[in-house]
Structure 1
Amino acid sequence: MEDIRLASRTGRWIMLTTVLGSGMALLDSTVVNVALPHIGEDFGADMADLQWTVNAYMLTLAALILLGGALGDRYGRRKVFVVGVVWFAAASLLCGLAPNAGILIAARALQGIGGALLTPGSLALIQASFHKDDRARAVGLWSGFGGVGAAVGPFVGGWLVDGPGWRWVFLLNVPLALLCVPVALRHVPESRDESAHGRFDVAGAVLGAAALAFVTYALIAEAWWAGALGLAVGAGFVALERRREEPMVPPSIFASRQFTVVNLVTLCVYAAFGGFFFLAALQLQVVSGYTALGAGTALLPTTVLMLLLSAKSGELGERIGPRIPLTVGPLLCACGMLLMLRVGEDASYVSDVLPALLVLGLGMTALVAPLTATVLSSVDVSRAGLASGINNAAARAAGLLAVAALPTLAGMGPEAYRSAEEFGETFRRAMPMCAGLLVAGAVLAWATVRNPKAAAECHPGCRVHCGVTAPPLEPGERGRSGEQDGRGRSGDR
């Protein structure tokens, strides 16, 4: 392990590299939603194509992110990070040049694979390279820059969509990669976990991805056979993980009741978030008449509030314990989503849109840091990184399934996004469903979450965070030994 100081020239290069790399994936996770109406118009796509444009990326990222972290620890974190950046950029180029919706969806799935390689590696490089006295500050800076990127992402995405076109949302990644890769190869030291051994759980990753894919297809296409097949493959995944000596998702970690419960809460709240941000970007453009730039800018308050207040929320959670934040946070978010019912054709931003997003942002701020701290405190310290990675993947899977299911449950037809009246009606049916998921999460947290004070203090990287798509990763130093086998840095923001 290196002992590079943050203030050194090499330290600054490492920060630049890791921020650029993780920023590529972060931007794509926050800006694509505002481009969807334009993508649909250019390709003559239906609602299912727009859902897959979002979900193809989330599917491969959620299924492979644990494996991506383990590959970096075994074969070299810089090497796997660089491969991920190049892969992501190549897939982004394919997205930007896609001649039809089918190729765009396939390219988005390839992007998710690249994201699964580069995102855990970006933080792992910081953990492995910096002197222990600078590590926490470096992680805080990395997370803070990520928060700024999340805040400006929708604005930049909207500007690109309304200006040179939606394809530049993806093509922008190519110059970023051309800057990132040479810097990484020249200035970032290689590192690996010398204790990592054994076989990779490739079969588990494939089964997990296949189960998610079949269930997602079933929800979008309303194909019962695919749902049954997905459940069967999911059962096979569980059986495989129980038998393997070194599984990707060790079943033993769920022996902690608190860990299991908090992950169920995570599924509820991040399903609601995923469904909300997918539909809200469309509602503002299709029904309220916003431009892509206007819609992206309109959604900024939630991210800005999290960027400004998440550290205070983490400190409060450490003082009073997780039960109240994990109950009040989802309830505030539910209120914010119900306030979005006022957003229609003649909605005023100041009196209709902004109050809803401020309430939602306060709820998310109250929720995310305490949720992460509770996940960490619910398992042995040697498994904290693994627990965080599982929690992060669970949140992404929840968002994936929500984007697949909500349009169907709300009765959206294939062409709903082309009609302001039809989309507005289905949006009004979808928001109470999202709010219901949040209320279910709040009730579950109040009834089952214990520990008056969390036993683990949240890392700075968990506090300064804009967790719109997933809870933050706990980097820790714990993944370098014991049973974790390098999986501890396999989550991402």
Structure 2
Amino acid sequence: MSSDETNPGLREDPEALLNPRSDPGGGAFGALGAEAGSDLNWLKMIRHRVQTKVAGSSRYQWWVLWSLLAGLLQVAKEFHTTKGILTWTMVGPLLANGLAAPIFGKAGDILGHRRLYLFGLGGAAVSAILTALAPTVITLLGARALDGIQAAATGTASAALINLMFHRDERVKAMGWWSLIGAGGPVFGVALGAPIIAAWGWRAVFWTQLVLILVAMVVVSTILPSGRGTPEEEAVSKAKARKEFKQMDWIGSWTLSFSVTGLMLGLSFGGQVGWTSPLCMVSWTIAVVCIVAFIFRIRTADRPLIPPHYFAKRNFVMPMLVRASANFAYFGAFFLFPILMEQGYGYSIGKVGAISIARPLTFAICSPIAGYVAVRIGERISAIAGMTFLTMSLFMFSLLQPSTGTWVVVVALALSGLGMGVAMPSSSAIMAHAV
């Protein structure tokens, strides 16, 4: 008997395949505990897996961020600016991404996650062109901030698609594969970006990105599902989403945005202009006032941006703290490492790129494996183990000396990637289960 006969829902709604419980090939991956069926079922299973990879491929757009880090000194020399200013080529996109994500999260429910994904890819293409043609450092920073905004669109859309595709029990495994794709971005960026920068300059990286984005738009248009459920169900869902979007706590969203921006401005420029300079004092004041307003808003608004009862849940708060501290260490070291290697050890861009691969490559390899292991040993234990590996990595970096061998640096980088690869899927799954 065919799968369509045993499950009529598959015949009536092909997109029901997005449910892992209906995935005829899921047994081969340990999802159902049953063996795969006919050749047709295997074709459907392959389509399901490809959709999953495409849904997570938005994270590859961050590869240019890591490529640009390899050529940071080259960019600073061209624009006659400082490395401190150019930190915003990384801070700007990450900050814009975090601020835009809540808005796009609601927009995806209204527009459809596939459409939002394509919108984000279009924004990525515009950002790549603006960056490649940037005549000034201000234009460069603006283009990179735009890239963070589009990444919020593709990121929220891909996360929503993955959550829809996988049952709660399988979600930590899916998050592991998603982390693999996210970690693959830096591997791809360092491996491809460093030689490109050395041969043709940093602008060539973004022309390369533009070509890849156009290919991605074609693939996404072909593979990702256009909708779920019947037209009537989608109409009801979109009407509900529009109502929620209008009722969204915009005051809370903007106060959170300004508080984070003020804090980041103060931290970025304090070392150059003085921590008590007028610029920093204004930034600190904006940050404090806005964060107080945000806290008041989430406690009093009818539909707060973040429901306050979430903060009473240990499984929501602790993973947030884990991710914040882990990303602080991981991204901070990622930014400083190329500068240390080029200026402190005199390495070439190509050699820095080759050594840097150890961190994201370990992250990429460990993430999917960690997702499966977490199902057996528990997500909390996995998160603790990951943070332990990351701490060991930072300790090794703190002991570096001018005479330290390259192998020590590689081991420290690998431990950092291992820690993030083990901790991130579990922390994401814990938070998803809590809310």
TM-score normalised per structure 1: 0.68
| Residues 1:3 and 2:60 aligned together | no
Q: Counterpart of 2:226 in 1: which secondary structure? A: coil
Q: 1:90 to 1:289 in 2, by over 3 A?
A: same
Partner of 2:8: none
Partner of 1:243: 300
1:104 Cα deviation from its structure 2 partner: 0.7
Partner of 1:354: 410
Partner of 1:301: 358
1:111 Cα deviation from its structure 2 partner: 1.1
Partner of 2:312: 255
Asked if the contact 2:63/2:189 (under 8 Å) is kept, the reply is: yes
Aligned-CA RMSD value: 3.3
Partner of 1:49: 85
- One-letter code aligned to 1:371: S
1:230 Cα deviation from its structure 2 partner: 1.1
The structure showing larger relative contact order (alpha-carbon pairs under 8 Å, at least 6 residues apart) is 1
Asked if the contact 1:208/1:237 (under 8 Å) is kept, the reply is: yes
1:316 Cα deviation from its structure 2 partner: 4.5
| Residues 1:374 and 2:430 aligned together | yes
Q: Counterpart of 1:3 in 2: which secondary structure? A: helix
Q: Counterpart of 2:43 in 1: which secondary structure? A: coil
- One-letter code aligned to 1:248: L
How far apart in 1 are the matches of 2:375 and 2:57? Answer: 31
Partner of 2:6: none
Matched pairs, number: 377
Structure 1, residues 456-492: CA drift from partner, whole Å, max 9, x if none? xxxxxxxxxxxxxxxxxxxxxxxxxxxxxxxxxxxxx
| Residues 1:59 and 2:72 aligned together | no
1:258 Cα deviation from its structure 2 partner: 3.7
- One-letter code aligned to 2:16: D
Partner of 2:108: 72
User: Radius of gyration: which is bigger?
Assistant: 2
1:297 Cα deviation from its structure 2 partner: 2.2
1:339 Cα deviation from its structure 2 partner: 1.7
| Residues 1:28 and 2:64 aligned together | yes
Return the structure number with greater helix share. Answer: 2
Q: Counterpart of 2:124 in 1: which secondary structure? A: helix
How far apart in 1 are the matches of 2:103 and 2:356? Answer: 33
Structure 1, residues 95-135: CA drift from partner, whole Å, max 9, x if none? 11111211111111111111111112134345657999999
Partner of 1:154: 190
Structure 1, residues 269-309: CA drift from partner, whole Å, max 9, x if none? 22121211111121112211222232222122222223333
Q: 1:202 to 1:157 in 2, by over 3 A?
A: farther
Structure 1, residues 81-103: CA drift from partner, whole Å, max 9, x if none? 11111112101211111112111
How far apart in 1 are the matches of 2:350 and 2:331? Answer: 20
Matches for 1:329-348 after TM superposition, within 5 Å = 329-343=386-400, 345=402, 347-348=404-405
How far apart in 2 are the matches of 1:269 and 1:176? Answer: 30
- One-letter code aligned to 2:301: R
Q: 1:80 to 1:163 in 2, by over 3 A?
A: same
Structure 1, residues 5-32: CA drift from partner, whole Å, max 9, x if none? 78359768746754554422x3134333
Structure 1, residues 242-269: CA drift from partner, whole Å, max 9, x if none? 3333333222211213422332233222
How far apart in 1 are the matches of 2:65 and 2:423? Answer: 20
Partner of 2:10: none
TM-score normalised per structure 2: 0.76
